[in-house]
Every structure is written in structure tokens, then in C-alpha cells.
Amino acid sequence: MFQNTKCECGHQNPVGTVLCESCGKPLDEALLKDENALLEMRYDGVARRSQKANPHFVDRIWNFFSSVKIAVYLIVITLIGAAFGTILQQESTIINLTERSEFAAYYKEQHGTFGVIYHALGLSRTYESWWFIGLLVMIGTSLVVCSLDRVLPLYRALSKQQIRKHLQFINRQHVVYSGELTQDKQEWLDRFAKELKRKRYRVWREDGALLAEKNRFSRWGPYINHIGLIVFLLAVLGRSIPAWHMDQYLTLYEGETRQIPGTNYYLKNDKFTLDYYSDEELASNQKGTKVVKLYETKARLYECTDACDDPTREPVLTEVKQHDIRVNSALAYKGLKVYQNSFQEKVRFISVHATLKDKVNGTDIGSFDLKMNQPEEEYKLGEYTLRLIDYYPDFGLDEQTRPMTKSRDPNNPAFVFRIAGPGIQDRGEVYVYFPMPSEKSKYYETILNESFKQRGDNSGRFSIQVDNPIVDGQMNNIEYSAFTTYLNIRMDRAMPYVWVGAAISMIGLIMGFYWQHRRIWIRIDGDKLALGGHTNKNTYGLRADVAGALGKTRIEVDPKTLDNRRNER
Amino acid sequence: MGRYRKPVQYIILAVVLLIGGYAIGNSLFSKSVVLTKGDKPPGFRLADLNNVVHDMEDYEGKPLIINFWGTFCPPCRNEMPALQHQYDKWKGQGLELIGINLSEDKLTAESFIRQIGVDFPILLDKDKKTERKYGLKQYPTTFFIAPTGEIQEVVIGGVLTEEEIDKRIERLIQTKS
């Protein structure tokens, strides 16, 4: 397609120019047909940067992203895609499952055939899927390319505007006035310019022509908004960098300290509290029901300062933060946030204060603290020494009726001690001790100690027990955890950038929405005065400006009559 | 600006390709922790029962079996003697065998090992860290690692008989690094 892009004023315009860059005469064929139609003033009629007569392969890609139509399609497709992700629960919100097969089973069980299809299509991971990320990347590209292609030519056009415009350009604006000028031309122009300056217009003049302009910066609003959106989008994509984003769960029983996986931090649960509203505090229709008042984990955060990677030593921890984690009150430390997520009511022994008794004399030899996790291997009680020789946290018997532990949790701990001291055979005496005050545990304890006695491993002289294990229905001399707390640990290093992006975007929106770019052109040919005005929004305001300034210079007009569209309506 | 138009275009498209490629690639190859044949096993540094540190790197270039076990897991207990027998048979030919205990108390692991009479290194995992690195789902899990450093086979669950172990060791030894 051949297109003559040279204007009658002698200016050579790029392909795709709608209005001559110099004098403003319409060049576009559609605009030339009807001389009374309003001008298309988008981007001041300049060509988009990438519009070319013979696009190259890379130009074609560039042009694809440069199209606003494509951008709208991309946004609509992304919206529809994002909506699919809201139909069923997303995989990332399901704790405990990690494998594809586990998720597949979960969706099948929860949602039947639909769940199977949903999972098979990958919609259970919509927001991490390649196509969704791909759409976001494409929207980002479109934002950059669209903006660049339009803002640069627009900037150029607005920074070197011709003052004297083509008559057609002036007469085909939204706001127009034309008439005879009976007064002195120069004097009238001076006064008109002064009036506009009072309304904070910037005025340029060139013999018999005038250009007044106000709030040009408002035109940059959308582009600043786009910069903000790009920062926002990059920040969102940045969350896929492993070190930038973390979302995991940690379970802690009371008194337990565990490392937060993938970090140098350790977290301790001092106490978990579950509190209900009392009947007085509840509304009449809720009385007698259990309504939770408080979920709270008293937590301590530690940082490892030494022996962090040394498997032969316990890590050296330094407390860095203490916080009572409640719903909506997370522990926060250097970008790390720990939220209360859930809890489980489960009794777990932490340690017992046990006493070694001499049954023959009926005396107490001494007492000691026995931990269920990594117990000490030796205890000195007066003249006697207790050596822990075996430990089964969850006592049971295997197929060959050998003692074993059924799990790693101290559900029914059993300790085997070898006692040495005065009046005991050289190889010591062996006793088993079950701290759980349950019948079954005590039964095992009796049976086993009896069999040791028969083998000659002990004389039955000693016993280990907790004094007064239950006082007023409460466990005594026993330290235990009543609850296990589930904490959600999050880190989002991208968040500050998300906020910055959002702030920039907001600044751009405000610039574009609350100010308008207004321009007024005047051209006097002999006695004929031609005035045209353009604004990107709020033509009422511009018409009022023009009518006001004309009125002050003794040309009385009704603002409404300045509307160029009056003929059409 | 006009002069730089083309380079700018190319730079922007290249940046888009780079960032976009990274982001999309990341989502395509979402990391699954389950190890299979041909994978390189993750490294570890763990203490044994004598508090001596063993590093995965110490075993590079040797045929290696890593057995994850716990005293709470009956099949783990049952296959332990078979592993010990096979270790005795093959250690002369350079076979290395490591048992990684599943984060139990040292005493619990130690007393069981003493009963069985195991003399290959038993390493103690802590807070399930290594177990998680290896993506374990069931116990026991045994990794057969060729001298090339690649996993040749993963046996999940079940009791391995001596013949089954023997057959696999032979294959390991034959794979040259």
C-alpha cells in the first residue's frame, strides 16, 4: 500500500499519521471525506512508533503487542482463566499433600468425576500453570510495548507544537468559535492571552496565531500508571524466585523448638491457649454453646548463631523475638511472618519428675527429671547411678515379641534403666519404667519387671514412679503438652515492590483522572477569527474557560454554543 | 531516539523472553521431590552413632546403598539382618552401605543396632530433614546408587530378601564410573 505522507505545508510525516505533525491538517482518508466531522485527536494524530510500511519479523511481534485490541483480549482471557481457578480449592492451599498422585486422589474423593477432570486439566494449579504465567508475561509485554509506542511520539508531538494550525484542524475541534473580529487584532490578542494566563494557561504567540495550554502533565498519567503496573507484575513474577517467597506450615507441641525449614530460624511454642466465651458473654441464643474467644501461641523465635550445620553438636540459638501469636496478630521478624493457623488437642508428655524408691526400706532414694525427647543417659541419685540403656517412646512388641516402639511419638514411653550402687550385684539391676499412668502401661511395667526378676536381672528391690501423679484431676509432677499448634510461616520479599508498584499506579491514575489537558488554538486571518479548543475530558470546563475569556474581551458567547457537536444533536 | 529504535526493540523483547522464559519455565518444571532412577541423590552431612560426621561426598565414585529405616517400622527391622549379610559379602569389593535412621532418639536406634549386630555406618537424621530432602513417603526406602553418582534403583517399602539385595548390588558393581 502506498500512502503519500507529505502534507501540503511541506512537512514529511511518518506512515500512519492521522493529523499532520506540523500544521494539524487531516491526512487520514476517513477524516478527509467529511470536512465537518470532528477530528480524531488520539495521541494528537501522530503515528504509533512501530507503524511501518514494510514490517520485519521482529516488527510483527512488536506490532502484535503494540495493539490495544490484543491487550484487551489478553486481559479478558486472563480474567476468564483466573475465574476457573476459583471453582475448586487450589492445591497450594491444601496442607500435608505434596505428590501429584495424592492430589489426584484428594480431588477424586472430594469432588468426584468433576474433581478428576479439574485436576487432570491442571486447573487445581491455575495460578502456577505455564499458561497463566504466560498470559501475565504477555500482558506485561503488551503494557511496555503499547506504552512505549504511544508515549514517545506523543511526547515529541506535544513538545514541539506548531502555534499556527491549519484552519481545518481548528474548525474540527470539539470546542470551536468563529466570527468577525472588529477590534484591533493585536490588542484583542493581548487581552485574550492575559485572560487565559489568569486561568493558568501557558500561552505562546506567533503573529496572528495563539496557542494556550494547561495541565499537559495529565497526559502522562496513564503511562505512569502502566509503569506502576509493570513494577507490580514483575514483583508478582518475582515470587517464583525461591528465596523471595515462602509459605509453609510448622506443627509444634508446647515446649517444642523446631527449625523453620529452609531458614536459619528456630521457633518455639511456649504455650498454646484455647479460650471460650463464658455464658455471660454470649448472646441469649448462643448460651451453652462453645464459642472460641482466643487461639494463642506464645512463641519465641531464635536465630542460630553457631554450630548450625554441625550434626555432632546442638545448634546455638539466640532469641530474637517473642510474640503471642493470635489470629490477625502474626509474629513478624525481618520479613518473616508466623500466623496462627490451626491446632490439635493432643496430650503429649514432655518430662516427668520421677522418684527412685527402695521398696525394702520404704525410702525415697532421690528424684530426677526424665525427658521424653532425647533423655539424658545417666542420672546420679545419692550413692546410686541410673543408666538409661533403652528407650521406646511408643512401647509395643514386634512379630518376634521383641520390644519395639510403634512410632516416633512418646505415646506410651518405656525407659529401661540399669541401676548401680551399694548393695547391688556387680552388673547392676535392670528395671523398666512406664511414666504413663494408664492401666495398660502399669500392667506392662509389672510383667516386664517380673520377668527381669525371674532372669536374675533385678531383685525387685527398687521402683521408679511419679509421686502423686494426679492431684484434683490434674496431672502432677508431669510436664505435658495439651495442644499442638499449627503455624503458618510466610515470607514475601516481593511485597514492598508490590506496594511501590501499586503506589506508582495510583499516582498515575490520580494524574490522569483529576486533571485535564486543555488546549486552545487561535488563528486570525484578516478580520476572521477562528478558535478551536481540545481537552481529553471535561469539555464543559474548557467551554467555560473559552467563553469566559471571550466575554472578558467583549465577545459574548453562550458556552453551549461553542460545542461543535451541536449540529449533530 | 530514532537511531536507537531497533536496539531498544530488541533489548525489550530479549528481556521479556528472559523473564518470561524463566517464569514460565519455573512453572513448567515444578520441582517434585520424589527421586527416581537417573537422579542425583541430594547431599547430606550427618553424625553416626559415634558422633563422627559422614558427608555424602565421602562416598563419591563408590557403589552405595542408602537405607532409610526406623525401629518403629517392622519391615525395616526385618530387613536389617539381610542388609548386614550382604554388606559382609560385598564390602571387600568396595560396596558402601549406609543406614539413615528416621530421626529417632540415638539410644533407641543404638540399642536396636546392637541387638542385630550391624556394623555398617548408621547415621542419625534430625527433625526429618534428610528424609524430607529425599522425598520419602514410605518406610523403609532403599536407594541403590551407582559409582557414577546416579540413582540406579529406589526400592520403596517391603522387606528386601538377601537375593534381591544381592542381584542389585551385582548390577551396581558392574556399573563403572
pLDDT digits (tens, 9 = 90+) for A276-313: 999 888 888 888 888 999 999 999 999 999 988 888 88
- Over residues B13-39, the mean pLDDT reads 82
Residues B14 and B80 in one domain: no
Q: Which residues in chain A are contacts of B17 at CB distance < 8 A?
A: none
- B40 in a domain, yes or no? no
Task: Tell whether B60 and B26 lie within a shared domain.
Answer: no
Q: State whether B129 and B81 are in the same domain.
A: yes
Best residue in A46, A101, A124, A133 to probe B by mutation, most B CBs within 10 Å? Answer: A133
Q: In this complex, do A58 and B111 lie within 8 Å of one another by their Cβ atoms?
A: no
Please name the member of B22, B72, B135 whose beta carbon is closest to the beta carbon of A408. Answer: B72
- Is B36 contained in some domain? no
* Residues B111 and B149 reside in one and the same domain: yes
- Same domain as B123, residue B100: yes
Q: How many domains does chain B have?
A: 2
On whether both B122 and B90 belong to a single domain, the answer is yes
Within this chain, do residues B22 and B57 fall inside the same structural domain, yes or no?
Answer: no
Cβ distance of A141 and B20 shorter than 8 Å: yes
In a domain, B120, yes or no: yes
Closest residue of chain A to B35, computed from CA coordinates = A99
pLDDT band at B39 (very low <50, low <70, confident <90, very high): confident
The tens digit of pLDDT for each residue in B80-116 reads 999 999 999 999 999 999 999 999 999 999 999 999 9
Contact A133 B27 (CB under 8 A): yes
| Section A204-218 average pLDDT | 93
Residues B83 and B165 in one domain: yes
Residue among B13, B72, B135 minimizing CB distance to A405: B72
Q: For residue B176, name the pLDDT band (cuts at 50, 70, 90).
A: low
Q: How many residues does chain A have?
A: 569
Give me A225's grid cell: 500508571
Q: Which residues of B100-132 are buried (b: 16+ CB within 10 A; e: fewer)?
A: bbbbbbbbbbbbbbeeeebebbbbbbeeeebbe
Amino acid residing at B98: I
Q: B111 and B80 in contact (C-beta within 8 Å)?
A: no
Asked if B1's CB is within 8 angstroms of A141's CB, the reply is no
- In a domain, residue B91? The reply is yes
Chain B residues within an 8 Å CB radius of A253: none
Split at pLDDT 50, 70, 90, the class of A3 is low
Structure confidence at residue A566 (pLDDT): 57
> Does any CB of chain B come closer than 8 Å to the CB of residue A402?
yes
Query: Residues with Cβ < 8 Å from B134, sequence gap 6 or more?
Result: B33, B35, B41, B42, B68, B141, B143
Q: What CATH number is attached to the domain comprising B153?
A: 3.40.30.10
A252: closest chain B residue by CA = B127
What pLDDT is attached to residue B3? 62
Tell which of B72, B80, B131, B139 to mutate to test the A interface (max A CBs under 10 Å): B72
Q: What is the pLDDT of residue A4?
A: 63
Q: Where are the alpha helices (DSSP H) in A164-220?
A: 167-171, 185-198
For A335-379, how does the pLDDT look when each residue is reduced to its tens digit (9 = 90+)?
899 999 999 998 899 999 999 999 888 889 999 999 998 899 999
pLDDT above 70: percentage of residues in chain B: 94
Structural contact between residues A543 and A560, judged by C-beta atoms closer than 8 angstroms? yes
Q: Report residue A425's pLDDT band, with 50, 70 and 90 as the boundaries.
A: confident
Q: Are A130 and B102 in contact (CB < 8 Å)?
A: no
Task: Decide if pLDDT at A540 tops 60.
Answer: yes
Q: Percentage of chain A surpassing pLDDT 90?
A: 57
Name the amino acid, one letter, at A84. Answer: F
Neighbours of A414 (CB within 10 A): 23
Please answer yes or no on whether A311 and B124 come within 8 Å at the CB atom.
yes
Contacts of B103 in chain A (CB under 8 A): 408
Over residues B3-7, the mean pLDDT reads 75
- Name the residue among A259, A309, A377 with its Cβ closest to that of B107: A377
Angstrom distance (rounded) from CA A218 to CA A511: 5
* pLDDT given at position A353: 93
For the segment A220-272, what is each residue's pLDDT rounded down to a tens digit? Answer: 999 999 999 999 999 988 887 878 888 889 999 999 999 998 899 999 999 99
Count other Cβ atoms within 10 Å, centred on residue A15.
Answer: 13
Chain B contact for A242 (CB, 8 A cutoff): no
What's the pLDDT band for A569 if we cut at 50, 70, 90?
Answer: very low
Nearest residue of A to residue B34, measured between CA atoms? A99
What is the residue whose three cell numbers read 556399573?
B175
- Which grid coordinates are listed for B70? 526406623
Does A390 touch chain B if contact means CB atoms closer than 8 Å? yes
Phi-psi region of A490 (alpha: psi -120 to 50; beta: other; left: phi over 0): beta
pLDDT surpassing 60 at residue B1: no
Question: What is the least distance, in Å, from the CA of B119 to any CA of chain A?
Answer: 19
CB contact under 8 A, A237 and B23: yes
Integer Cα distance of A519 and A201 in angstroms: 8
pLDDT at B108: 93
**Is B9 close to A58, i.e. CB distance below 8 A?**
yes
Calpha distance A213→A291 (Å, rounded): 65
Residue A568 predicted with pLDDT over 60: no
Tell me, yes or no, whether B117 and B141 share the same domain: yes
How confident is the prediction for chain B on average, in pLDDT? Answer: 88
Beta-bridge partners for A325: A297
Predicted local distance difference test score (pLDDT) of residue B159: 82
All three cell numbers of A160, joined, read: 514541539
- Residue B38 resides in a domain: no
H or E segment and range at residue B117: none
Query: Is the same domain home to B83 and B3?
Result: no
Does residue B39 sit within a domain?
no
pLDDT in tens, A124-162: 999 889 999 999 999 999 999 999 888 988 998 898 888
What pTM was estimated for this model as a whole? 0.76
Is the CB of A128 less than 8 angstroms away from the CB of B27?
yes
Residue B37 lies in a domain: no
Contact A408 B51 (CB under 8 A): no
**Residues 287-346 (A) with a CB less than 8 A from some CB of B:** 309-312
Residues B84 and B155 in one domain: yes
CB contact under 8 A, B108 and A391: yes
Mean per-residue pLDDT of chain A: 89
Least confident of A273-282, A360-369, A421-430, B31-40: B31-40
- For residue B158, being part of any structural domain is answered with yes
Using an 8 Å CB-CB cutoff, list chain A residues near B105: 373-375, 391, 393
Whether B105 and A144 lie within 8 Å, measured CB to CB: no
Cβ-based contacts under 8 A for chains A and B: 112
Statement to judge: residues B49 and B135 lie in one domain? yes
Phi, psi (degrees; rounded to nearest 5) at A329: -135, 85
SS3 track for A204-234: EEECCEEEEEECHHHHHHHHHHHHHHHHHHH
Residue A248 contacts B, CB cutoff 8 Å:
no
Query: Sorting pLDDT into bands at 50, 70 and 90, what band is A120?
Result: very high
B49 has pLDDT over 90: yes
In the block, residue with C-alpha cell 496431672: A475
- The residue range of the domain holding B5 is 1-31
CA atoms within 13 A on the CB side of A543: 19
Adjacent-strand bridge partners of A458? none
At residue A477, what is the residue type? N
CA of B18: which chain A residue's CA is closest? A137
Please count the other Cβ atoms lying within 10 Å of the Cβ belonging to residue A128.
Answer: 18
Q: Please determine, for residue A522, whether its predicted confidence score (pLDDT) is greater than 70.
A: yes
What strands lie across the sheet with A292-306, from one edge to the other? Answer: A257-259, A265-276, A292-306, A316-326
The DSSP annotation for B88-112 comes to HHHGGGT-EEEEEE-S--HHHHHHH
Name the residue among A61, A133, A141 with its Cβ closest to that of B24.
Answer: A133
